[in-house]
Structure 1
């Protein structure tokens, strides 16, 4: 279910319009209150009897009675979690921006910093955020790795290439990929314009 399908306001409106809770059950009938009191508890409704078994009818009634307090609690929890996710997304986009600037500016930020930048970028995918240098920093690193690997694929004589006679072709292909990475860094979905 997506956020658009789960209309918390409509769910809360229906819950608010229902008879105030808590609700309880004596078997298959549902009453207002925490415990059924004959002649005093307000009758809410009942589940269908005889559908499969008495135990099933009682379980259905217990579920409906508990829903009166469970549903508002679940709506409140979803609101709390959504607010927390928004806080974490905001912190993540700030961290991504700061780490991207650091990684981009340093000659060798190190694999831990680049790995952290990659993970923060993944964690904030789809989050509206101001443009940052995460894609540029990761592309710069990818380009450098490809260039270094190309140098290994086509070493200076008298060293022999791991790729044998294909070393120069492999190196050429890797250098083209490095140029492509520098020219058109992957656009992170979480980066704004």
Structure 2
């Protein structure tokens, strides 16, 4: 939550983030400054419905409402849009945004596309073995990701070339253990 201000700097963008950034005062500030956002609301959030927005009959959206969020002590000054959708597990997700000009389906699709990005980063964490970034510049991050992708590609090539039945993890361990050995050992194995 403390880093949100550093990410939000372009008023032509729609910021899509998870409920870890839930901060009602920040939402009001973003609306007042002209930023658009979309986030997931916690299940126990206090909301008051002002108006129900009619949905098309064939819509996959559960509901679309104009709301006020927060209790009497922490209530937001601005009104928001609450869109309820089902996730892939069948659970209900409560999405809030300050965009009233887009369809509920477009907003739901934006949030769902966020999951594709989450899955991409999950794959990077699991397969590229990047624990920390050694540089903070964009070029430093790119270089480290490229090096990790090349390493992963070499692992895959070794796996294919040796027709190994071993798992990716076991090949990685063998490579680390025999880093300075002759590559002939792989061919004979």
Pick the TM interval, shorter chain.
under 0.3
| Structure with more relative contact order (C-alpha pairs < 8 Å, separation 6 or more) | 1
Q: Please state which structure has a larger fraction of its residues in helix.
A: 1
Q: Please state which structure has a larger fraction of its residues in strand.
A: 2
What is the TM-score normalised by the length of structure 2?
Answer: 0.23
Work out which of the two has the higher radius of gyration on C-alpha atoms and give 1 or 2.
1
